[in-house]
Amino acid sequence: MPEKVKIIEWHQLEKKKYFLFMNVYMLTTNAVLFPVELVKTRLQLQRTKALYKNTLDVVYKTVKNEGFLGLYKGFPVSQFGVLTGHIYASSYEISREQFSTLQNAARGFLAGGLAAALEQTFINPVDVICQRMMVEGQGERNKQRVTLRSVVIVKRVLKEHGVFGFYRGFTASLMVEGLWSATWWASYGFYLDMIGKMVPDGTSHLVIKGLSGMLAGISSAVVGNPIDVIRVRLQVEGRKSILRTLHDLLKNEGALALTKGMFASAVSEMPCSAITIIGYEMVKKLSLKENSVIE
């Protein structure tokens, strides 16, 4: 009978090491995965007269018309997310430890949802700015400095919507991130237990965690995509309500519009989730206190 896959808990971590390694981990991960988010956002904002045919077409046209750096529009601003990433990861680990009597899937669902809700309070304004930068000047080379463009967007949001403009789509974002995070961690816990029982003895736990992360990424992408489409349109286009946005979207573009970006998201989530969870588990392993025993 294969042994149970071991998970490093919050109390076993040396916090100074953990936060140091997390900085490096998040900066690196954000740099690698940011183009994926840009591609997904541009696909989700398309109307019936599409500029892009598919995921690869977004990449091709972006690089051709805007240069390679076009794939990183909004990236510098997004680095504020490193701070909120600490909030998310820490609150997830602390919450997960509080639900220690539950199964892995249940612990992941509750802790993931709570962590996402807390993080979204801080990250929403950054998302609004980043997403507007991602879609501005599509098909054009924009040599304006990132700092200037971000300032212009901030001023525009304040002028058009006031301070609350930075919290456009907050409810939808809370639903998206909460649902995505809860689904991801619940699925991860479920697949971790399932795969752990199926593989031969001696199989690397890192491999099992990578496979579990890959499957969890697909699950969360499919479940969360419809509300994510609505969230992005609320934030970028300044629409007033979730229901109104949903009504207009279904009326003008049909129900399939809720799947825009789903394939790109699901495909990208497979390697992204595997890389992310393997990297995160390595951070935790490097941050273990001396003489800690992994339970």
Distance CA 189, CA 204 (A): 17
Q: Do 13 and 293 contact (CB within 8 A), yes or no?
A: no
pLDDT digits (tens, 9 = 90+) for 163-209: 777 787 688 778 878 998 999 999 999 999 999 889 888 888 889 99
- Residue 49 pLDDT class (50, 70, 90 cuts): low
State percent of the chain over pLDDT 90: 31
Q: What are the phi and psi torsion angles at 104 (to 5°)?
A: -55, -45
> What is residue 230's predicted lDDT score, i.e. its pLDDT?
84
pLDDT digits (tens, 9 = 90+) for 83-114: 888 999 999 999 999 998 998 899 999 999 99
List, in order of start, the domains of the chain with CATH numbers: 10-287 (1.50.40.10)
Q: Is the pLDDT of residue 62 over 80?
A: yes
Q: Is the pLDDT of residue 139 over 90?
A: no
> What is residue 126's predicted lDDT score, i.e. its pLDDT?
78
Q: Is the dihedral of CA 30, 81, 112, 22 positive or negative?
A: positive
> What is residue 239's predicted lDDT score, i.e. its pLDDT?
63
Burial of residue 285 (number of CB atoms within 10 Å: 0-12, 13-18, 19+): middle
Distance CA 232, CA 39 (A): 13
> What is residue 1's predicted lDDT score, i.e. its pLDDT?
39
User: Which residues make Cβ contacts (< 8 Å) with residue 159, sequence separation at least 6?
Assistant: none
